[in-house]
Amino acid sequence: MIKCIHSKKQSNKTLYTNDILSVRQEKLSNIRKTGIAFPNDFRRNSTSNQLYKKYAHKSKLELQRINIEVSVAGRIISQRIMGKASFITLQDFGGNIQLYITVDSLKNNAYEKNIKQWDLGDILGATGVLFKTRTEELSIYCNKIKLLTKSLRPLPDKFYGLNNQEKKYRQRYLDLIINNNSKEIFKTRSLIIANIREFMQKNDFIEVETPMMHMHAGGANANPFITHHNKFGVKMYLRIAPELYLKQLIIGGFERIFEINRNFRNEGLSPHHNPEFTMMEIYMAYADYQDIIILVQHLLRSLTQTILGHSIVKYGNHQLNFQDPFTQITIKNAISYYLPNTKNKNIDDIHAISTIAASFGIQVNNHWTINEIQMAIFEEIIAKKIIQPTCVTTYPIEISTLARRNDNNPQYADRFELFIAGQEIGNGFSELNDPEDQKERFLKQNKTKINNITEKNNNTPYYDADYITALEYGLPPTAGVGIGIDRLVMLLTDTHTIRDVILFPTLRPR
């Protein structure tokens, strides 16, 4: 019964849309008979934000005195037809501007002829004189107006907005027309990336580009997207991470480099994960992971101050502090701090840590080490509790294949992950530059992957002999970090799903 009602509603909606399409197509047909339907001979000299910035503070009398004529273009998002006069609101990238049109202002009966042909969503070009209405709204008294593009489909209701999330992501153009907040998020995203580049260049880093198709699925532990090179007759992988190529550039003599890159990981969807995502990777010779932590602190502080004007960022119910130095805490200390009931327990005891894991519903495999169980507790329970910018350190060497061993305790890597508001934002470490140690770790990782291959997870094991050869020529002491740009944009725009900061996120097939 419910399905029938839903079907009836859908049917009525389809009929309504088809009626509008027919009416608008008829209007377009009439336009074609009298001239060019989609002209490209109109040129504007102003945008809405330029006009408001320059003239909004001027009085009615001042505007009358200067008698400034302007040309604008944009999409009709509202209109009030009042017989012999009409108000139309145009939307351009900078905002909205109001047009005032009368029978007297347009020549040759253009008012009567055109007003009936225009609909919400149409794109107009208009020329006229600036003035202010009785309500002090900056407007244009039009003497010329031209239909540039006829919209055949109706826009979503401006009052209710575009509330259908599926439609919002599949038809992003409608979201950008209707929801100004979405447009502002993507403007901010562009500013963030531009300011990142400016910061890096000011600190003597060179931007580089590396391949997006790899012969080996290397650089991170993730399932790759697989493609095929027809000419070479070989399998290739979309980039999981650019790390191994970037470190080859350090070997080649570049000392400070960064790349803002698209990566691809053939894994699930979540509010914080999209299979195609944007990262920035930074590499700095003659530095360690503590130097990188300082660099990242300065970068994020600079971004917040430049983009938002301050270093305290509102995110949901939290006030994130980017002014103070980031907290540093080890994984073990994080478990003890965020789970107070574990303070009197020996979390380095396999039985004790297994019991703690089981109490949170974490299934422990018999072959797991103490380190792996601690990591499972951290990832499942602790990470989402970390709100203020915090660098978590002392990661086990077995899950840090490309990181340098700590000199005092070789079981752990000189590595950190940056967590903010429960999300991992960055992953950095002192780079492993010992080719023999790296070769051994690659082989061990290879063996683990062979043992873990299943029908669902056919992540082909790899051994990157070319990278080992490069290391044998000598990688200077180096530190690097990868920063998730999409998640960083989420933080700085107070957005809580990654789909809202990616213009065209990956969606399930219809």
The residues, ordered by sequence, that sit 6+ positions from 254 with a Cβ below 8 Å of its Cβ are 206, 208
Select from 399, 400, 397, 398 the least CA-distant residue to 410. 397
CA distance 246 to 323: 30
CA distance 446 to 274: 26
Backbone angles phi, psi at 443, to 5 degrees: -65, -40
Q: What sign does the CA torsion over 242, 247, 249, 255 have?
A: positive
CA distance 138 to 48: 10
DSSP state of 378: I
Determine contact, residues 427/456, Cβ cutoff 8 Å. Answer: no
**417 labelled ligand-binding:** yes
3-state secondary structure 37-59: CCCCCCCCCCCHHHHHHHHCCCC
The residues, ordered by sequence, that sit 6+ positions from 229 with a Cβ below 8 Å of its Cβ are 213, 235, 236
Select from 413, 401, 395 the least CA-distant residue to 437. 401
Q: What is the Cα Rg of the chain in Å?
A: 29
Determine contact, residues 90/99, Cβ cutoff 8 Å. Answer: yes
3-state secondary structure 88-122: EEEEECCEEEEEEEECCCCCCCHHHHHHCCCCCCC
Sheet holding 423-430, edge to edge: 206-207, 256-264, 276-285, 478-484, 423-430, 412-420, 390-396, 327-330
Sheet holding 226-229, edge to edge: 213-214, 234-238, 226-229
The residues, ordered by sequence, that sit 6+ positions from 179 with a Cβ below 8 Å of its Cβ are 161, 162, 168
User: Annotated binding site for Mg(2+): which residue ranges?
Assistant: 417, 424
User: Annotated binding site: which residue ranges?
Assistant: 417, 424
